[in-house]
Structure 1
Amino acid sequence: MLINPVHAAEPSAPMEASPYLPTSRRFVNPLYIRVEDVPEVAYLSVGDRAEVERLAAKARELNDSDRIDRDAAWTLKEQALRIVHAHPMSTRRAALFEAFCEREGQGLVDFATWSAIVRTHGTQTWPEGVETSAGDRVAEVRSELADEVSFAMWLQWVLDTQLATAQRELTEAGMSLGVVQDLAVGVHPTGADTWSLGDAFARGITVGAPPDPYNQRGQDWGQPPWRPDRLEELAYAPFRDMVRAALRHSGGLRIDHIIGLFRLWWVPAGESPLNGTYVRYDHDALIGILMLEAARAQALIIGEDLGTVEPWVRTYLSERGVLGTSILWFENTEDGTPRDPKDYRRLCLASVTTHDLPPTAGYLTGEHMRIREELDLFTRPVEVERQADEAERERMMQALRRRGLLPEAGADLSSDPGERLRSTVEALHRYVSATPAALVGIAVPDLVGDRRAMNQPGTHLEYPNWRLSLAGPDSRPLMLEDIVSSRQVRRLARAVDRGDHSG
């Protein structure tokens, strides 16, 4: 089960919606805590339990909206967690908490201190002397906010135990890998990591990507990059700690934009991504650490090696056992025709789509073109873009017909447009499942027929990135139970039943 990053976000509203713009990549967002599973809940007084249940009922009301309101959800969940935190722990539980804090060391203390300061003072009016973790008043402020610091540390311990439980239950249920976590490419410029790790990050610089066919104006992700010189001086400790934490309770780790371990597109503050430049890193050191930690955790590594990639990089990663990423719409031969399934890489995760592209149903119906036109993301005339998009889709449809996965044009007897669309989505997944790829993925929006992009790269407030609830073709929000019981989900799962396809 490959999940989006669960990295820590802001400890109070407003909370960043994107899991790829966290405050810390080492620690986790307590929004994901399941309050009911914290053992102390069972020992609450009647009054406290009633209050927790009241808060849970109010939180469930948020599920009726087609927009995810993280601020409202966290406000309610935090109130419930504070009630649970105030209840005394058993001697055994207290000892486990103490052991966790000792293991995580100063990194946890710094993260919790930053969280306590933000909860108390917000992000704008901090006391003097705490501008960084090395500030001369940090110890004093930490003492003043001891209860908040302890609460933040406790939240991380609860998260650690629940992640461990989730991974154990998945593997005991028969999954070979269980959870595969996701490591974002960077962090928020004013977050916990930049506060605690100081000049390990470059100032006045953000990370992005040069122009490509899907983002013709380039991208600026608003994240400060690691300084390669400081990483070396620190013996790569921040990187090691981050990777080790992500692998602790997972069977694998996807590295978002793994090319960033080789080079990153640095954009000077205030400049367009068009004016950025590449800065190189010691990839031998970074990949070596990554593989060492993966070996220790007995986990696999998946590198998102899409976009502008130097050809030798993919060979370098493959030789070290790092899986690449193959997205159907990007897998074309030199003349632009879709790559035959047998010619895909074996060491890769292959899928029809990814979180930076629209769901497959949305792509087939042109939803992505409507959004990009509406947001003025094209640099060529819209008519030219539409012609290119339609030609690309038709080449793919022809490839499906050649393999007998779709009937010949005009031979489809189904009069139901929805059924024709579902059949095409299944055919595309059958195409990918016929590749030798070590892993094949199905995006959850494809399971339920959602058409709306979860994320539109190159936008900030112009589009509700990461705020749309999972929904069916009618845009009505869905619950997990709806997915589990869905006939369409079972149909698509059967479409990727690989049998002996994978070799």
Structure 2
Amino acid sequence: MTDDRPTPALTHLAEAHGIATEYWSFFGDRVVVPAATLRAILTAMGVDTSTDAAITAAAASAADGPWRELLPPSVVSRPGAGTIVVHVADAHDVTLSVALEDGAWRDLALPEQHPSARLVDGVLRWRLEVPVPADLPLGWHTLWAWQRPFGGGDVDRTASAPFVVTPERLAPVPARADKGGRGWGLMAQLYSVRSRGSWGMGDFADMGDLAAVAGAQGADFLLVNPIHAAEVTPRIEPSPYLPATRRFLAPLYVRPEDIREAGYLDAAGRAALDAARAPVAAHDTDPGRIDRDAVWLAKRAALEAVFAVPRSAGRAAQLAAFTAREGQPLLDFALWCALEEHYDGVERPAEARDIGSPLVARLRAEVDDRVRFHVWLQWIADQQVETAQAAAHAAGMTIGIMHDLAVGVHTLGSDAWSLRDMYAPGITVGAPPDMYNQQGQNWNQPPWLPAALARAGYAPLRDMIRTLLRHAGALRIDHVIGLFRLWWIPAGLGPGAGTYVRYDHEAMIGVLTLEAQRAGAVLIGEDLGLVEPWVRDYLSARGILGTSVLWFEQDGDRPRPPEQYREALLATVNTHDLPPTAGYLADEHVALRARLGLLTRPVEDELADAEREREAMLAVLRERGLIRPDATAQNAEVEIIEALNVLIAASPSRLLGVALVDAVGERRVQNQPGTDLEYPNWQIPLADSAGAAVLVEDLPANERFLSLTAAVDRALRR
């Protein structure tokens, strides 16, 4: 077997670019990352590793590069924290100023001493570390530097850089005083929650109505799955965690009848809209699989008819203002949608995959009508999400809609196309091997290039967060550790041959907190699994809540008392990757994995482990008097599920999440990890314990829903 251990020079070069050259595995082993992995990742970063001489030259460039620049690519800092690094040629003065976001200017005081110097390209350059003033306003500013020779000569060098000043800590979670400053909310997969007005799957109108129903029960938020845009031609990716873009919204969730212009359709147009809806709406009470392709084809036909209705002067002005505000990124996304339609079912030339190609430039004009249609769809989606958030607040919610941010995007999606220079070519992200996935995981999502993000001043991250928080009160960040480090997997090497690449978490988290503060929103980081302990402390110090799942909170072989949970948490009984509690109590999760051939041990062993885990939890509930002494999973399912949700209310956690599937008795899992086509992941509509579909209109009279939500609300008001 060939030794693929990296040379010291390659190791040094990789570490200079934030690439882990060794790590400790889930199983406690020290793993040295193969040279092939390091070379592939460095190549994706634009670093030449083809020869030993190239590696030596790249290492020198990495060391000298920052010294050649008057200012760094961008600076993200908290007021009074950190420094601005300036590199000035010997025998030169420098002036440093900030162009503030509001148009004012602020001169910065330079240090009296130069900490260090370096000879680069034959020129001695001094490194100045300028303290960030404590009284700088938060915001998106611009740094300017002017270098001139000693004695007042003319400026011979000018530089500018984005300068982002971010909050030290987010404000506390808003909650009603009668709940001790805490709150609870409902968690739902939006596509699964239908009503009698739906088009075969849940939509933005259903989101607003569900928020109103939950708010009437005392809920403070409604957490929904990511609503990022997916494909616009079949097959539409079912997973909301593998979107085409994270910047724009999914028109799949638009309710056509709620668009103002739909009211101006003539009789034939209205009849056509009703005819388009009828086949998919007929499945609203069907507990079987949701068909996104059929829903979108029906909606698209109706939406095209509504789009053709002339808009009033006021509506036209609103659309124009929205388009101008969203700018070129919106036009590029709409172009991607139009090209997806243009090439639907047709071989696509390689040139079409390059947004800057002459072919794409020519097609931009040819498909302009479709571009305008997809721009309009984003405007409509934005308005309907705004309406849903208004409904949440009207129902008394203190937070309202809580969106979910996916880890990344599809390799063939809009973001990977229009922001190609921001992503690492030939790389996808995933997770290293662990006890559940011994080969590791590949999520087939391209990672952002850390250096490209810095050069862009983190604008892509900012713009993405602004869209999600424009009409929301909170944002859950899936796999928040990805803002600190990601597991990069070079193409062809397999998940186990990847390694971690670090990001500037101070910058990434800073941008998040700035945008959240401006939106008055709460941030929650999904920090389950292998997370370095200091990360949780760091997030808490910045005012970002963590995540806790009851079944994962263990103290040895017993459940951890909820009183020992962290305060800065969103605590829940389960999550979308676990079976609903009713299914868990009935061993549905073991039966399903057995049917799918996913078990690596005899089914009897799996059932025995599930029984031990379940009995340990029931023992805690009995000890606390939350269930009857003789209650079992077989004779007291409703009682136990209610007790589990009341149990986590004993924690000091700021927020509690109640799964809608638990509130109605659903048993089917939404997502079975380790499967693709074997199981209808992300396609299961909401149903009760008998398998009957549950609609939004049914919830206000659903005894199980009312009892569980009332019990949680009472537990917080004690």
Query: 2:536 maps to what in 1?
Result: 314
Query: 1:375 maps to what in 2?
Result: 596
2: CA distance between counterparts of 1:213 and 1:493? 35
2: CA distance between counterparts of 1:447 and 1:213? 31
1: CA distance between counterparts of 2:611 and 2:562? 22
Query: 1:96 maps to what in 2?
Result: 318
Aligned letter for 1:490?
A: L
- Paired residues for 1:81-92 under 5 Å: 81-92=303-314
TM-fit CA distance, 1:389: 2.5
Query: 1:158 maps to what in 2?
Result: 380
Q: Tell me if 1:433 matches 2:655.
A: no
Q: Which structure has the greater CA radius of gyration? A: 2
TM-fit CA distance, 1:372: 2.3
Q: Tell me if 1:72 matches 2:294.
A: yes
1: CA distance between counterparts of 2:493 and 2:614? 35
Q: Tell me if 1:2 matches 2:223.
A: yes
Query: 2:696 maps to what in 1?
Result: 480
1:217–1:338 Cα change, 3 Å:
farther
Query: 1:466 maps to what in 2?
Result: 682
Aligned letter for 1:477?
A: A
CA shift digits 1:237-280 (9 cap, x unpaired): 11111111111110010001101101112223344433332211
TM-fit CA distance, 1:286: 0.3
1: CA distance between counterparts of 2:319 and 2:527? 38
2: CA distance between counterparts of 1:58 and 1:381? 44
CA shift digits 1:129-172 (9 cap, x unpaired): 33222222322111000100000000000001111111112112
Give the TM-score, by structure 2 length.
Answer: 0.67
2: CA distance between counterparts of 1:473 and 1:340? 29
2: CA distance between counterparts of 1:376 and 1:128? 39
Query: 2:11 maps to what in 1?
Result: none
1: CA distance between counterparts of 2:448 and 2:345? 22
Q: Check whether the contact 1:17–1:70 (CA below 8 A) recurs between aligned residues.
A: yes
Aligned letter for 1:360?
A: T
CA shift digits 1:199-227 (9 cap, x unpaired): 31122222212344554553221111112
2: CA distance between counterparts of 1:452 and 1:222? 26
* 3-state SS in 1 of match to 2:444: strand
* 3-state SS in 2 of match to 1:294: helix
Aligned letter for 2:536?
A: R
Query: 2:448 maps to what in 1?
Result: 226
Q: Tell me if 1:388 matches 2:609.
A: yes
2: CA distance between counterparts of 1:94 and 1:378? 57
Q: Tell me if 1:116 matches 2:332.
A: no
Q: Tell me if 1:13 matches 2:234.
A: yes
- Paired residues for 1:98-497 under 5 Å: 98-122=320-344, 125-127=347-349, 129-333=351-555, 335-408=556-629, 411-412=630-631, 417=634, 420-497=636-713
- Paired residues for 1:46-65 under 5 Å: 46-65=267-286
> Which of 227, 236, 248 does residue 27 from structure 1 map onto?
248
TM-fit CA distance, 1:73: 0.7
TM-fit CA distance, 1:482: 2.2
Which deviates further from its counterpart, 439-448 or 105-114?
Answer: 439-448
TM-fit CA distance, 1:500: 4.9
Q: Check whether the contact 1:212–1:307 (CA below 8 A) recurs between aligned residues.
A: no
1:267–1:371 Cα change, 3 Å:
farther
1:389–1:124 Cα change, 3 Å:
farther
* 3-state SS in 2 of match to 1:494: helix
* 3-state SS in 1 of match to 2:223: coil
Aligned letter for 1:445?
A: V
Identity %, equivalent residues: 52
TM-fit CA distance, 1:41: 1.0
Q: Check whether the contact 1:5–1:184 (CA below 8 A) recurs between aligned residues.
A: yes
* 3-state SS in 1 of match to 2:388: helix
Aligned letter for 2:419?
A: L
Q: Check whether the contact 1:217–1:379 (CA below 8 A) recurs between aligned residues.
A: no
2: CA distance between counterparts of 1:171 and 1:217? 46
Which deviates further from its counterpart, 177-186 or 454-463?
Answer: 454-463
TM-fit CA distance, 1:83: 0.4
| CA RMSD after TM alignment | 1.8
Q: Check whether the contact 1:433–1:497 (CA below 8 A) recurs between aligned residues.
A: no
TM-fit CA distance, 1:189: 0.5
Q: Check whether the contact 2:469–2:519 (CA below 8 A) recurs between aligned residues.
A: yes
1:175–1:123 Cα change, 3 Å:
farther
Aligned letter for 1:44?
A: L
CA shift digits 1:64-88 (9 cap, x unpaired): 4311000001111110000000010
Q: Check whether the contact 2:646–2:715 (CA below 8 A) recurs between aligned residues.
A: no
Aligned letter for 2:713?
A: D
1: CA distance between counterparts of 2:605 and 2:495? 24
2: CA distance between counterparts of 1:484 and 1:224? 43
Aligned letter for 1:25?
A: R
Q: Check whether the contact 1:215–1:457 (CA below 8 A) recurs between aligned residues.
A: no
Which deviates further from its counterpart, 339-348 or 374-383?
Answer: 374-383
Aligned letter for 1:277?
A: T
Which deviates further from its counterpart, 79-88 or 269-278?
Answer: 269-278
TM-fit CA distance, 1:9: 0.7
1: CA distance between counterparts of 2:532 and 2:619? 30
Q: Check whether the contact 1:450–1:472 (CA below 8 A) recurs between aligned residues.
A: yes
TM-fit CA distance, 1:58: 2.3
Q: Check whether the contact 1:117–1:126 (CA below 8 A) recurs between aligned residues.
A: no
Query: 2:37 maps to what in 1?
Result: none
Aligned letter for 1:289?
A: V
TM-fit CA distance, 1:499: 4.5
* 3-state SS in 2 of match to 1:92: helix
Give the TM-score, by structure 1 length.
Answer: 0.95
1:371–1:220 Cα change, 3 Å:
farther
Aligned letter for 2:247?
A: R
Query: 2:95 maps to what in 1?
Result: none
2: CA distance between counterparts of 1:484 and 1:132? 51
Aligned letter for 1:12?
A: T
Aligned letter for 1:397?
A: L
* 3-state SS in 2 of match to 1:478: coil
Gaps of 5+ in 1: none
Aligned letter for 2:558?
A: T
2: CA distance between counterparts of 1:224 and 1:471? 35
* 3-state SS in 2 of match to 1:166: helix
Aligned letter for 2:340?
A: V
* 3-state SS in 1 of match to 2:396: coil
Aligned letter for 2:703?
A: R
Which deviates further from its counterpart, 443-452 or 491-500?
Answer: 491-500
